[in-house]
Amino acid sequence: MSKSCVHPRRRAVLIATAAGLAGHRAWAQGSAPRTLAWSELVPKDWDPFKGQRNRDPAKVREGSANELAMMREMRTVWDNAPTRADLEGARIRLPGYVVPLDNQPGGKIGEFLLVPYFGACIHSPPPPANQIVHVRLKTPAVWHAMDTVWVTGALATERSNTDMGVSGYALAAELVEPYKAPAR
């Protein structure tokens, strides 16, 4: 017969604490998600145009080596845009536009980029990485390029590089639904 080296009262406290923590996690997952605006994904002190502010675009000839160098520099800054570590694991709800990343049978997709404005990554260059969320669906669904949606799920600060752009965040979608403007 083995004897536990943990005092019975201490054991009861440990069990109660563990049960409380497990209950807290279940409560947090069941609580209402925090609705975010796209601007809240950007750290307050980050300026996406910092390196460009001292340049006069009127003095740069279109198609010149100087213009191409400026665009490459800006793309590098945007692809490495910082994220907000304090949002890691937050259960959020965010509106945006769908940029499909795969094509499955029946016109379904299993993952997409969520972007803040129409045409991003398709008709115009990708926004900064902290303005792109890589969404993974539990079950593939029918969504089309530039469908406007609300996405709910746990946010992760996870960078991924796709053919359509670099994302600074990832989200395991609990729910993707057509966008409806919030009631005023």
CA–CA distance, 37 with 31 (Å, rounded to integer): 19
Give residue 26's pLDDT: 41
Q: What is the pLDDT of residues 70-95, one digit of tens each?
A: 889 989 999 999 999 999 999 999 99
What pLDDT, in 10s, does the model give residues 8-58?
554 444 444 444 444 444 444 568 999 999 999 999 999 988 877 777 777
Predicted TM-score of the model (pTM): 0.80
Mind giving me the DSSP string for 95-108?
Answer: EEEEEE---BGGGB
Which residues are within 8 A (CB) of 154 and not within 5 positions of it... i.e. 6 or more apart? 89, 90, 91, 92, 171, 172, 174
Reading the block at residue 53, the tokens are 């502010």
Structure confidence at residue 184 (pLDDT): 81
On whether the CB atoms of residues 77 and 48 are closer than 8 A, the answer is: yes
Beta bridge partners of 176: 151
The mean pLDDT value of the chain amounts to 86
What is the per-residue pLDDT for 179?
Answer: 96
- Residue 31: the pLDDT is 82
Domains and CATH numbers, the chain: 34-43+83-178 (2.40.50.870)
Assess whether pLDDT exceeds 50 at residue 152.
yes
What is the per-residue pLDDT across 154-165, written as a single tens digit (0 to 9) for each? 999 999 999 999
Q: How confident is the model at residue 177 (pLDDT cuts 50, 70, 90)?
A: very high
